[in-house]
Structures are given as structure tokens and as C-alpha cells.
Amino acid sequence: MSPRSLPNVILILFGDVLASQGLVLLLITFLHCSARISRNLANQLLSIFNIMFLALSPQPHHSFPLDVRTALRHFGIETDFTRHGCCPKCFGLYNIKDPTKISCSYRALPNGRPCGAKLRDKVNRPLRFFSTQSLETWLSRFLKRPEIDAALNETSADTSSLPYGDIRRSPLWRVIRKEDGQIFLEGPGRLAFSLYVDWFNPLGNKAAGEPNLIPSVVVLRLYISRSGKKVSFGTIALFCLNLPPSLRNKHENIFLFGIMPGPTEPSLEQINHLLRPLVKQLLYHYEVGITIPTPTSPDGQLFQSALLTLVSDLPASRKTAGFASHSATHFCPNCDLTLHDIGSLDFEGWERRSWREQKLWARESRHAQNKAEKDDILKERGMRYSVLNELPYWDPIKMNLLDTMHLLSGLLKYHAEKLLNLRDEAKSTKRGDGTVSSSEDEDEDQDDREIGEGADENAEIEEELRGLAEEMERARTRIFLRPTRAPPS
């Protein structure tokens, strides 16, 4: 088939130009959304089909889009993203449409030097981006789904029927109150969200700097003993706590606000740059709200939202909420116990922190004139500035929750059995030396033996592979570095 006859084939299959344009847009949109072809590839396909349609009709009746984002808007499934420029050094955000932003002007201290990091390349393109999603746009799609509307109406009707332990039955659900004293989350159209922040390595455990010997040898060596290069990208996501647990953590019900750019994590207060756009949206949805038509309220219902909890692992929660690390003098975010008294079990003497006082010291830390003042507040109060404190209802003491996944996956068992020596006597047996051991000890001893045997086996395999690699390197040297013979005279 000649290239000139291809447009005629398309016209025969699709009927006319307008119908064929719509079907092509639908096909490429499907490939972009479901088959996950890149935006660049989708745009290239649109350009190719546009050339074909111009061959069919030099003056088409309808303009054909050359960008897949236009096709997404055409079908009403676009996602409202905002692209920010992100400083490669301090993670400060800036407007990418401002061509005068060549270097970063952020100052960590009022009288300090600006960051000064380079923001653009030689052709004036931003070196790094941070894209965020609109909560308003996401809620407009989320609340229009019939199953979500039914679940929200069911759970808001009678909270007493909820299972014990659900956060909607906890006292925390009634902490946020409006100026008139009304409990915020007990009003109609009130949504509560949980914030999740964490980092991951998108490259997996891949080793860097391996010699270019034999691919199979390198792969085996990676599998056996290499820990991998550290590359971190972060996730900022919201979970709707009004949903029942069966729906709460499904992918389609999670609001992904943004992916924090890598390859390194933001340090300490730098994460505030990335959280500030989210806090601005949450402030608007708390104070004003948006009206959205739903299946049960076709004319629209006012929805207001609040951030109720922060759930992350220990390093991420301390960094996000503005608390000192677990090894600091004031290590605990809930009480004033110091690291020196960490062994104290007199819990009645643990004086709880005041959230108002903590937010006050966080503001003092933000307005500190020099680094020494910030360090003194961190050491004496265990607090630094967090942009979450800009939310008027935010309680960094009560709303910073424990990460149950890590808590239940070994921490409680370790503290109970190893530190407090709380073990089941029925499962304990006497060793030959008279000491008491539990079945868990025997399992651990067996695991230790298996780990030791596996480590010895891995060491032997690695030694054999190393010898094989050396032999092949010597063979390669003999073959490729063999001296050439002189030509016959």
C-alpha cells in the first residue's frame, strides 16, 4: 500500500473526516490513559494523523488537536496540574513563566544569604519541576461517583453503627470546631483527610559503579550482596477518612497531590516549600469550600474539608510536623520527657506538651534572626517551623499519629519481649544450661543458623564469580591486546 492511499483507507473505514478525527482522538486518549504511552509519543501520533487528515481535506471542517492534553479536555477527563519550578538545591518553588528567575532568591534566614542556585539551563528551561494536582478538580470527579456518594451518605447517617476503633468514632473526630463552637466534621458536606508523606527509591536496589565485565556476572553480584544507589523521590497524598476502611485505601480513592522531585530528599524545613501549595488549598476548602453536584444532590452541595491526621513513618512525620528527631534531647512529640530520662516508666510524671505552646515556638523558629536561635529552640523545645501550623485548627500533638504498619510489624513485639521481657511462659522451655528459652528464641536461633549458612554460601558463589570474571578479563586482554605480527618482508 502506498502512503498516498492510506488516507483513503482511513476514510473508507471511518466514514468521513469528522468521524475519523473523533475516533482517532478516542484511540490515542485511551492509549495515553490506559496503555500509559507517554505524552510525547501521543503527540507524535496526533501529528501523523493530522497530516493524513490534511491529505484528505486541505481545509478540514474541524481543527485537529496536536496535543493529547487538548484531547483529554475534549473528553472531559483532564487533570488539573500546576507545574512549579523547583530549586535543585533548597526545593524553593517559583513561577516557570517568569523568565527573569535565573537563580534562587530564597533566604532561610531573614538576614541570611540567598540560596543562589542555578534554576535554568542554557536554553532557559527550568532544571527541575514540581507538579501538583488541584484538590477542587479531584473532588469534583471523586464526589460525582455513585459508589462514593452512597458510601458517604451511609457513614454520615449513623456513626454509632461504625466498628469500634474506626477514627470516625474517636474523640479526634470532634476536635475541630468552628468559631461558634460547632463540631466541624458533624456538619453536612464536611470531609476529613489524612496526610501521607514518604520517600521511595524508583530505581530499586541497583548498584552503581559496577565494572563492565559480563552482564550475567554483574546481575548475580547485584543480587547477592549489593545494597544499591540511594535515589529518593517523595509522595504527598491525602486519604478521605469519611469513607469506610474497605474503600479508604483504594488507589482510585487516593488524592495524589504531587511527587517530590529527587534525587535527594528535602532536608528539615525544605519540605515546607513543597507542602505550602497544599496548605493553601486546604485553607480555602476549610474556610470557603466548593459546591459540587452529586447523584443525590443534582443542584449541588457545599463541601468543606479539613486535614485531620498526619500518618507517616518516624523520620517523615518528624520532618513534616516540625518535631525534633528521635535522637534529640526533646525526642518525644507528645510529652516533655528528655533523652536523659528515656528510661523512666513513671508515665504519670510525663508532662504532656501543649499544642498552642508548640505552635508558638514553631513561629518563633520561623522568625529567628540567625541559625543559633533556631538551634536553641530546637534543642530546648524540640520544635521547628512547619507550614502545617498555618492551618488554624492544626494540633501537632494530637493529629500526628503513629504509623501502625511499622508499629505492628515488629516494634511492639520487640519492646515487649526484648526490653520488658514479657513472654508467654507456656511456650517457654528449659535449655540444657538451665536457662529458659521460648519457642520464638528457638525460631530466631534457627533463623540465625540459616542466615549464617546462606551468607557462607553467598560468599562462596561470589568468590567463584570473582574468579570467573578475572579469568575472562585475562582472556579478553590476551585476545584484544595481543601484539601484531610484522608483515613479511
For 255-297, the pLDDT digits (tens) are: 999 999 988 889 888 999 999 999 999 999 999 999 999 999 8
Residues 305 and 330 in one domain: no
* Residue 406 confidence (pLDDT) above 80: no
Residues 337 and 264 in one domain: no
| Higher-confidence position of 438 and 216 | 438
Burial category of 271 from C-beta neighbours within 10 Å (exposed 0-12, middle 13-18, buried 19 and up): buried
Range 181-203 average pLDDT: 88
Residues 285 and 354 in one domain: no
What is the per-residue pLDDT for 67? Answer: 86
Which cell numbers in the block locate residue 83?
507545574
In a domain, 80, yes or no: no
Which cell numbers in the block locate residue 30?
485511551
Contact yes or no for 48/40 (Cβ under 8 A): no
Residues 277 and 190 in one domain: yes
In a domain, 269, yes or no: yes
Range 123-127 average pLDDT: 89
| Higher-confidence position of 3 and 133 | 133
Most confident option among 49-53, 121-125, 151-155, 399-403: 121-125
In a domain, 149, yes or no: no
What is the per-residue pLDDT for 305? Answer: 94
The total of other beta-carbon atoms located within 10 Å of residue 64's CB is 20
* Residue 1 confidence (pLDDT) above 50: no
- The residue from 426, 461, 476 where one domain ends is 426
Residues 59 and 13 in one domain: yes
Residues 293 and 338 in one domain: no
In a domain, 204, yes or no: yes
Which cell numbers in the block locate residue 222?
547485584
In a domain, 311, yes or no: yes
What is the per-residue pLDDT for 489? Answer: 41
What is the per-residue pLDDT for 460? Answer: 64
Which cell numbers in the block locate residue 270?
525544605
Range 10-22 average pLDDT: 59
Most confident option among 42-56, 164-178, 265-279: 265-279
Which cell numbers in the block locate residue 253?
480513592
| Higher-confidence position of 484 and 351 | 351
Residues 293 and 393 in one domain: no
What is the per-residue pLDDT for 478? Answer: 53
Which cell numbers in the block locate residue 100?
527573569
> Angle CA(213)–CA(471)–CA(468) in degrees, nearest 5?
70
Q: How far apart are CA 336 and CA 397, in angstroms?
A: 12
Residues 190 and 308 in one domain: yes
Share of the chain above pLDDT 70, in %: 71
- The residue from 74, 96, 131 where one domain ends is 74
Residues 301 and 184 in one domain: yes
Would you give the distance in Å from CA 342 to the centre of its chain?
32
* Residue 428 confidence (pLDDT) above 70: no
In a domain, 142, yes or no: no
| Higher-confidence position of 437 and 327 | 327
In a domain, 187, yes or no: yes
- The residue from 426, 442, 473 where one domain ends is 426
| Higher-confidence position of 9 and 310 | 310
Residues 204 and 275 in one domain: yes
Residues 301 and 185 in one domain: yes
Most confident option among 5-19, 111-125, 146-160: 111-125
| Higher-confidence position of 426 and 179 | 179
Expressed as residue numbers, the domain containing 415 is: 322-342+350-426
In a domain, 293, yes or no: yes
Contact yes or no for 43/64 (Cβ under 8 A): no
When the pLDDT of each residue in the chain is averaged and rounded to a whole number, the result is: 77
For the stretch 132-164, pLDDT in tens is 999 999 999 899 999 999 988 877 655 666 666
Contact yes or no for 243/253 (Cβ under 8 A): yes
Burial category of 454 from C-beta neighbours within 10 Å (exposed 0-12, middle 13-18, buried 19 and up): exposed
Which cell numbers in the block locate residue 447?
533463623
Residues 261 and 285 in one domain: yes
Contact yes or no for 129/259 (Cβ under 8 A): no
Across 250-259, 289-298, 383-392, 436-445, least confident range? 436-445
| Total domains, the chain | 3
